[in-house]
Amino acid sequence: MAIMLEPKFTNFEEQKLPRTAVYPRLRYMGSKYKIIPYLSSILSNIPFESALDAFAGSGVVAYSLKEMGKQVVANDFLHFSSTIARAVIENPGVILSGEDLQLLLSPNKDGRNFIQSTFENLYFPLEDHQFLDSVWSHAEGLPMYKRELALSALCLAAARKQPRGVFTITDLRYDDGRRNLHLPLRELFVQAVKEYNNAVFDNGKANGVMCADVFSIDPSGFDLVYFDPPYAPPKDDADYIKRYHFLEGLSRYWRDVKIMENTKTKKSRSGIHHLLTNGRYVRPCVNCLLDFSTVLLFCHIVPTRFRVRKKFMNYYVRQKGMLRFILCRIPIRLVHM
Ligand SMILES: C[S@@+](CC[C@H](N)C(=O)[O-])C[C@H]1O[C@@H](n2cnc3c(N)ncnc32)[C@H](O)[C@@H]1O
């Protein structure tokens, strides 16, 4: 049986998602923030209790599932994405107090200077780099959820100060006059802490986070799996590590991160082999999906970007005989067997 649904665009209020409406916004390639009301109107027609967001990115989809009262696991291979997810999706109610914030803003506790010495004259002025080292010197000693909140806020502040939010450029070439580009990171951090504190709530479910290659996930135990793999067709440079390497390093103080010293941006190497940025990974990826019973696949219809996903779906359908759910941007096609 195939059910066709007309696209129904709603807003956050209609969908009763007031928390997701004010989710701390990270400028993230492929973020579904804008279409959350639309996605949730689809999801509310599907019976499920638990869900895996297998490519969580900014975390906004997993967060909206949490607000819908579902038990959610958010996964992404990027460490900074899982830091954010732990702060606001897994975290059942811990926030940063005024005292915690004072501590985080106080002078560098142990004199560490990795960021200021490594990224001198790149990205931010010296005071900002000093500030990042200093916050880290305090964040490290905080209990887990507080630490993850502090580090999420640090990443959000850094992303907001960087032109386009990406770290493929090291100067203000793309300065579009936005106020954030010229504010001290300290000020952006204080604002981000407020936003993340505000995002914390308990939905009464044991939500979780994974920081894993999608190919290594045990598919059992989820009623629904939401897949939003990267868009990149072959030869596209839309590589998440390349764009967000600074946030990735910042979320772990560059521990276990190999910086490519000869690059202008001091980017880091990806440790993951199965980057879903290329058509040749379609087959192994789909083979992994075959184990999941209900799959909600987000698809774009922009032809170049769609190519990889279309291959992906066709292969899936051939192997499994059906796709339990196919979701396209416009029109929505929901196929239910
Ligand atoms: C299109 S984005 C997801 C956007 C997300 N739905 C949002 O609203 O922010 C795709 C994500 O897949 C992640 N990714 C790419 N290859 C992966 C892999 N092999 N395993 C896990 N995550 C992967 C990227 O880090 C990126 O965050």
| CATH code for position 6 | 3.40.50.150
Residues 149 and 263 placed together within one structural domain of the fold: yes
Ligand 1 center to 80 CA (angstroms): 12
pLDDT at 56: 95
- What pTM value is reported for the model? 0.85
Judged against a pLDDT cut of 90, whether residue 102 lies above it is answered with yes
pLDDT at 31: 87
What is the rounded average pLDDT of the residues 179-196? 95
- Please tell me the chain's helix, strand, coil percentages from 3-state DSSP, rounded to the nearest 5: 45, 10, 45
Judged against a pLDDT cut of 90, whether residue 261 lies above it is answered with no
Distance between CA atoms of 211 and 27, rounded to whole angstroms?
20
Residues 187 and 304 placed together within one structural domain of the fold: no
pLDDT at 17: 92
Write out 184-208 in H/E/C secondary structure.
Answer: CHHHHHHHHHHHHHHHCCCCCCCCE
Ligand 1 center to 97 CA (angstroms): 31
Contact residues of ligand 1, CB 6 A cut-off: 28, 30-32, 55, 57-58, 60-61, 76-78, 81, 213-214, 228-230, 240, 272, 274-276
Residues 176 and 69 placed together within one structural domain of the fold: no
Dump pLDDT digits (tens) for 113-161: 999 999 998 899 999 999 999 999 999 999 999 999 999 999 999 999 9
Ligand 1 center to 334 CA (angstroms): 23
Residues 217 and 303 placed together within one structural domain of the fold: yes
Residues 251 and 333 placed together within one structural domain of the fold: no
Angle between helices 126-139 and 185-199 (to 10 degrees): 40
The CA distances from residue 33 to 36, 226, 272, 273, 321, in Å, are 5, 15, 26, 28, 32
What's the mean pLDDT when you consider all of the chain?
Answer: 79
Distance between CA atoms of 83 and 145, rounded to whole angstroms?
9
Q: Are 119 and 129 in contact (CB under 8 A)?
A: yes
Q: What is the span of the domain harbouring residue 103?
A: 96-199+240-274
Dump pLDDT digits (tens) for 27-64: 898 888 888 887 787 778 777 888 889 889 999 999 99
pLDDT at 177: 75
Residues 153 and 212 placed together within one structural domain of the fold: no
Residues 130 and 251 placed together within one structural domain of the fold: yes
Distance between CA atoms of 262 and 242, rounded to whole angstroms?
14
Q: How many domains does the chain have?
A: 2
